[in-house]
Structure formats: structure tokens, C-alpha cells
Amino acid sequence: MLSLPPLSLYIHIPWCVQKCPYCDFNSHAQKGEIPEQDYIAHLLADLKGDLARYQTSVGNRALHSIFIGGGTPSLFSAPSIAYLLEQIRKLIPFEPNIEITLEANPGTAEAERFNGYVQAGVNRISMGIQSFSDEKLQRLGRIHNAREAKSAVEFARNSGLNSFNLDLMHGLPDQTAAQALADLQQAIDLAPPHLSWYQLTIEPNTMFAYRPPRLPDEDELWQIFEQGHQLLTSAGYVQYETSAYAKTGFQCRHNLNYWRFGDYLAIGCGAHGKVSFADGKILRFSKTKHPRGYLRGEYLYEEKNVEPQDRPFEFFMNRFRLLEAVPKTDFEGLTGLPQSAVEKTINWALNKKFITETDRTWQVTEQGKLFLNELLTEFLPE
């Protein structure tokens, strides 16, 4: 028997104005008019199919959070987002305090839509700022400038949102430590409730992979992280996940559910989902990646069981991204396994000082975070 965790919904909108050279997400440069209404009709048909297919998991559970990601979801109009959310609510109930996040570009046109998104039911916006340097933004292929980014933050602050997030990168091409920290200080000065601050990495099959730029070396990256972490902490931000900082009470509920091994339905091109069943089954599934196939009604791409021997790795891969302690009862309830299934690995990790332990919890240490891949590898089946 499994304990059923909170249930979230991820919605993927795959179009962007142009593809950024560092991006390995399932996104497609806009060519002509985006088939907004047609795509929304397919999203709703996709959700109806999932609700029927996973009925014994979803049951009467209400949605804990919705995250509309991309791509650039803010290319869709506020009335379209309102219609989508209204129709979803008819299919599945919402928790009274549901968090609904929409990713947005900080360009002027999208920022001016923020009030409309709030009226549509969105209560949290995540903006891909990335940098406050116009030169760095151009290197990253972004279509906004620093002035528009700061203006978008003011739009967000005055729009009646419960919260908003700024995405900011460091370790950019030819970026000095001083430049990276100046970027971060400008973000802190804007006082967003939530900041996602992460290092640029070169991913396969991106333009940066084919033509690698010169990035800061490891010593510079460590200096940026160490001093940046101090800046954030001094400003009242608490790090709760590897790359996420928030003022008290403003952690992203959707991401917390994901990292806590929660359940999430997923609709849209290339979206990935996970559902648990009280009888002990856990399924992961993904949707067709390319808009052409998806818009033909070919929604489900792959579905697979998470076998018992794979669950320890999957559970800790998620939970050790968070800095909070891991309740042992969560491991038992959400994987259906006894603690004895990981006893040998836990003892190894304790001896390595990668984790600490109490009667009720496990906690990853600073040492464990530095050697996280080595730690997680030990939870893989033999």
C-alpha cells in the first residue's frame, strides 16, 4: 500500500520567439501564427485521457498546484489562459489555496499582460531574466534587455500576484565574478519573493554545445557561488533547494511537491508525469514531443512502471535536492518499501558523512551535497 501524495499538474507550451543557444528544453521557434486555440483544445483532450487512464490514482484528489511552463507560455493571451484554467477546473477540483504559476518572458508585450493573467487565475509568475547585462543577454540569445527586465518586475509587483520568481544565471560566457555578483545584487535589490539562481551548463544538442563559449573556471565559479550565497542569505533569502532561494513562506509549492516525490499529471508536448496508486503501483509517463504529432492527437508517448528496486534511487534523487530533512515515514509511505531496503546504503552514507540521521529523519550534509552524484549512485539497484 502507498500513501498518496499531493497531486499537481504540469502544462507545457512549446513555442518561443526564438531558440536560445543554451536551451535544451522542448521548445520550438515560432514560425507564423501559433495555433493557440487548437493547442488548448488538445491540452484539454489530453487531460481528459489522463483522468480516465489514471482514474484509480486521481480519484477524488484535488489539484495542489499547476505550473504552465515552456517554451514561453506568455505568448498565449490572457483570455486563452483563463479559458484553459476554467475548463481544467471543470474536469478536476482545485485545492482552495492552489498555486498556479506561469512562466513569462520579461519583454514589454508579455509584461503588460500580467494583470490579465492574474484575472485568469494565475497567482505566481516566473520570469526568465537570466542577466541584467545587455551584452550578456545578447550572448544568451534573449530577446529582452535589462530595462525591460526591471520594468517587468514592477509589472509583477503591482499586478496582485501572490508571488513571483526571477530566474538568474551565473557562470555566463566571459563573465567575471564581479559581473556575476553585480547581476545578483541587482536582482536582490528588486526584492522578488523567490529567486532561482543557477549556473549555466553546456547541454548536448544546443548551439553552445556545437560552438562552446569561454566560461569561468571552477575556482571562479566557486567564488561566485560562495559570495553569492552570502549576499542572498544576508538579504533574508533562505536556500531550500540546490538552485532555489525564497523569502520565508514563498517557496514554490509546485517544485516542493516534485522534489518531495509527489504526483503530477502532465499535458502538452514532451511533458513528463508521475502517478502513484494505493495498491502499490507507481507509473511515470511522457507525452509526444513535437507539436506536429501532438496536434494530430498523438498524446501519450511512453508509460512505464517504477519497479520496487528502482524506487530508492528515484526517491532520494528527488529528496536530496532539497535542504530539508527527509522523514523516514515519507520513504516508506511513498515508495512502499521498508527502511531495511536501504539500510546498507544509509550506513555507507553515514560513514562517509554524506548524511546525518535521527530517529525520524535523514539529512544530506554539506559534504553530501558536494558528492551528490556519488551518494545517489549508491542507491541504484545492483
* Percent of the chain predicted with pLDDT > 90: 85
For every residue of 342-381, DSSP letters joined together read GHHHHHHHHHTTSEEE-SSEEEE-HHHHHTHHHHHHTTS-
Dump pLDDT digits (tens) for 61-96: 999 999 999 989 999 999 999 999 999 999 999 999
Whole-Å CA distances, 131 to 18, 165, 180, 190, 198: 18, 14, 8, 13, 11
Three cell numbers written together for 287: 507525452
For the chain, domains (ranges, CATH) are 7-257 (3.20.20.70), 312-382 (1.10.10)
Show the cell assigned to 326.
527527509
Q: Which carries the bigger pLDDT value, residue 291 or residue 109?
A: 291
**Residue 250's pLDDT is what?**
98
CA dihedral 139, 142, 143, 144 (to 10 degrees): -100
- For the stretch 30-58, pLDDT in tens is 777 899 999 999 999 999 999 999 999 99
- What is the pTM (predicted TM-score) of this model? 0.95
The confidence score (pLDDT) of residue 29 equals 76
Q: What is the distance between the alpha carbons of residues 107 and 74, in angstroms, rounded to a whole number?
A: 10
Q: What CA–CA distance (Å, rounded) separates 184 from 228?
A: 7
User: What whole-number percentage of the chain has pLDDT above 70?
Assistant: 99
pLDDT of residue 27: 77
pLDDT for residue 206 is more than 90: no
pLDDT at residue 108, as a whole number: 62
Mean pLDDT of the chain: 94
Most confident segment among 150-159, 193-202, 267-276 = 267-276
pLDDT confidence bin for 221, thresholds 50/70/90: very high
Quick one: pLDDT at residue 109?
Answer: 62
pLDDT for 105-153, tens place per residue? 888 667 778 999 999 999 999 999 999 999 999 998 888 999 999 999 9
pLDDT at 98: 98
Which pLDDT does position 33 carry in this prediction? 86
pLDDT digits (tens, 9 = 90+) for 312-363: 999 999 999 999 999 999 999 999 999 999 999 999 999 999 999 999 999 9
pLDDT at res. 57? 96
